[in-house]
Amino acid sequence: MDKLLLIDDEADVQYSFRRIFDSPQIQLTAASSGEEGLKILPKLKPDLVVMDVRMGGLSGLETLRRLRQIDAKLPVIIMTAYGTTHTAIEAMKLGAYDYLLKPFDVPKLKQVIAAALHASRVMRQVVSYQPMLESEDYALGIIGRSESMQNVFKLIGQLASSDATALITGESGTGKELVARAIYHHSRRSEQPFLAINCAAIPENLLESELFGHEKGAFTGAVAQRVGKFEQCHDGTIFLDEIGDMSLQTQTKILRVLQSGTFERVGGNQPVQVDVRVIAATNKALEQAVAAREFREDLFYRLNVVRIHLPPLRERREDIPLLINYFLQKIAQSQIQPPRCIDPEAVGALEKFHWPGNVRELENVIRRALVVAKGEVILRDDLPPDVVAAPGSLRSAASSLASSPAVAPSSEAPDVSSLAQALFRWARTDSQLRIIPAVERELIINALAETKGNQVQAAKLLGITRATLRKRIEKFGIKQELSIK
C-alpha cells in the first residue's frame, strides 16, 4: 500500500482527495498546515506528498524547503490556484516532482499521482543502479567491458610504448578521439604537445598551410611567414581527424613526413625536419576511397600499420549499462552533486536502441534525461520517444509517423514525399531493416485488410496489377496472416 500525505488547509480539497484516492491501494493522510505536515512526516514516512502552495502559516514553498531537509528524495507535488511560472520554477528548483493547477482535472491528477508513486517506489527499490566500475576504467576515461573494447584497450597499451603510426576507425561518436588521447597519455611523449586537427573542418585550400605553414607571399593573403601544426608539434603527437577528407596534394606531403620527417612550408623550398608521431582517424571506409583513387594507396598502407577499429555501440550492447552509470557519475561530478539513479526499465530501453550516434548520442540522452527527470530517478518516460520506441514493427512506426505534423492528414493531397522521408529517417535507426520490401509488405497487408481480402480491389488501391499482387502475396508469405477470399 502506498502512503499519500496531503497538506492543504482547505476542507473541500481534503474531502475530494478522500473521495478520489482513499482505497485499499492508497492510504491517505491529511494535514491542514505545513507545520502539521512536517510534524507527522518522520513517523508517517509517506511515499508521496501533495501540497498546496498558498496556506495560512508556513507557505508551501517554505514547507517544501524544510521537507527537503528531512527527506531529500521524497516526491512532492505542488498545487496552486495561482498558476504563475515563478511558483512553478521555484517549486521545481526546490525539487518538486510536479506542479498541478487548481481546480484540478481529476484524470490528470490521478495520472500525475500514479506516476509519482511509481517513481517513489522505484526510488526506494533501487537505491542505486550501479554496475561495478573499476577505478582504471575511470583513469582511462574509456568505458567498456565487451570483448571488442578489451581488444581496443590492449592495442592502446601496445601502441603507447611505441612510436608507431596508428589509424583509428569507427562510426561517428564511437570514441576515436578519446582513444587517440589515451594513446598519447600513455606514451613517452605525454609531456610533449598533443595537437588535434579536424581535416574536414578546414577548407581544402587552407589545410595544407595549416599543417605545414607557409612562407611570406606564398599566396594572396600570406603576408607573413607562418609556422604550421607539424612544426608546433615537434617532439609531440599530432591527431589528424577525418583524414579521409584531405586533398591528394596534402596526402602526398603527409606521406613524406611519415617516411622522412621532412616537408616544406607552402611556397618554400627549405626542408623542415620534425619528429612528430601521427595518429589518424576516419569514419569513412578508406579502402573504398583508395579504390576510387581519392586516397593514396601508399599513404593508406603507411597509416594502417596499426589499426584500431571501434565497433558501433549497437554491437557491444553489454557496455551500455556501464556507460550509463559512468555518465551519471561523470555529470554529477561536474555539477558537484551526488549521482542520480536510473530505473532498470529505462536501462532496458536504452540497451535495445540502435544508437546511430553511438556513445556520444547515449551521453546526450543521459544529459537530457537528467534535465527532464522530475525525481531522483530517471524513468523510461524521461527518455526521448524515438529512443524508447525501439525499432519494433513497421506498423508501430507508421502509426507514430501518421500522427507527426509532417504527414498529418489534411485537406490537401497526401504528401508521399515527406511521409517517405520520415519513414526513411526512422528506418535508418535499424541497420538490419530492408526497408523497401518491409514497406511493400505492410502496404499490401493494409490494402488486403481494407478490401477484406479482395485482391482485385486491393491491387487497384495499390496501383499494381492483380498478377503482381499475387506474386507479392506469395513472396511475402502473406496468406498465412489473412484469410483471403
Ligand X SMILES: Nc1ncnc2c1ncn2[C@@H]1O[C@H](COP(=O)(O)OP(=O)(O)OP(=O)(O)O)[C@@H](O)[C@H]1O
- Residue 459 C-alpha cell reads as 491491387
Note if the bond before 103 is cis, omega within 30 degrees: yes
Q: Determine the 3-state secondary structure of 27 from DSSP.
A: strand
Identify residue 395 by its one-letter amino acid code: R
Q: Which does 34 bind (CB under 5 to 8 A by kind): Mg ion, ligand X, none?
A: none
Q: Give the start-end residues of each E strand in 247-406.
A: 262-264, 271-273, 277-282, 306-310, 341-342, 377-378
- Residue 448 C-beta: closest distance to ligand X, Å: 44
Residue 75 vs 170, nearer CB to ligand X? 170
Contact code string over 274-313 relative to ligand X, x by CB under 6 A: ---------x------------------------------
- Residue 160 C-beta: closest distance to ligand X, Å: 17
- Residue 387 C-beta: closest distance to Mg ion, Å: 22
CA atoms within 13 A on the CB side of 245: 17
Identify residue 449 by its one-letter amino acid code: A
CA atoms within 13 A on the CB side of 52: 25
Identify residue 318 by its one-letter amino acid code: E
Q: Which does 397 bind (CB under 5 to 8 A by kind): Mg ion, ligand X, none?
A: none
The pairing of beta strand 271-273 with beta strand 262-264? antiparallel
Q: Which of residues 333-362 bind ligand X (CB under 6 A)?
A: 359-360
Q: Determine the 3-state secondary structure of 272 from DSSP.
A: strand
Residue 115 vs 310, nearer CB to Mg ion? 310
Q: Which of 208, 245, 363, 430 binds ligand X (CB under 6 A)?
A: 363
Q: Is 358 left (phi over 0), alpha (psi -120 to 50) or beta?
A: left
Q: Which does 175 bind (CB under 5 to 8 A by kind): ligand X, Mg ion, none?
A: ligand X
- Residue 79 C-beta: closest distance to ligand X, Å: 40
Residue 33 vs 172, nearer CB to ligand X? 172
Q: Which of 35, 137, 177, 294 binds Mg ion (CB under 5 A)?
A: 177
Contact code string over 392-421 relative to ligand X, x by CB under 6 A: ------------------------------
How many residues touch ligand X under the rule CB under 6 A: the total is 17
Q: How far apart are CA 217 and CA 147, in angstroms?
A: 54
Q: Angle between the 11-21 and 106-125 helix axes, to the nearest 10 degrees?
A: 70
Q: Determine the 3-state secondary structure of 374 from DSSP.
A: coil
Residue 51 vs 289, nearer CB to Mg ion? 289
The pairing of beta strand 341-342 with beta strand 271-273? unpaired
Closest residue to ligand X: CB criterion: 175
> Does residue 137 bind Mg ion (CB under 5 A)?
no
Do residues 366 and 327 touch, judged by C-beta distance below 8 A?
yes
Applying CB under 6 A, the span of 84-92, 117-125, 138-146, 297-305 interacting with ligand X comes to 138-146
Q: Which does 174 bind (CB under 5 to 8 A by kind): Mg ion, ligand X, none?
A: ligand X
- Residue 259 C-alpha cell reads as 617516411
- Residue 26 C-alpha cell reads as 492508497
Look up cell 596508428; give the residue. 166
Residue 243 vs 407, nearer CB to Mg ion? 243
How many residues touch Mg ion under the rule CB under 5 A: the total is 1
Question: Residue 15 CB: number of other CB atoms within 10 A?
Answer: 11
Q: Which does 167 bind (CB under 5 to 8 A by kind): Mg ion, ligand X, none?
A: none
Q: Which does 473 bind (CB under 5 to 8 A by kind): ligand X, Mg ion, none?
A: none
Q: How many residues does the chain have?
A: 485
Q: Which of residues 67-86 bind ligand X (CB under 6 A)?
A: none
Contact code string over 160-199 relative to ligand X, x by CB under 6 A: ----------x-xxxxxxx---------------------
Do residues 255 and 215 touch, judged by C-beta distance below 8 A?
no
Residues near Mg ion (CB under 5 A): 177
Residues near ligand X (CB under 6 A): 142-144, 170, 172-178, 283, 323, 326, 359-360, 363
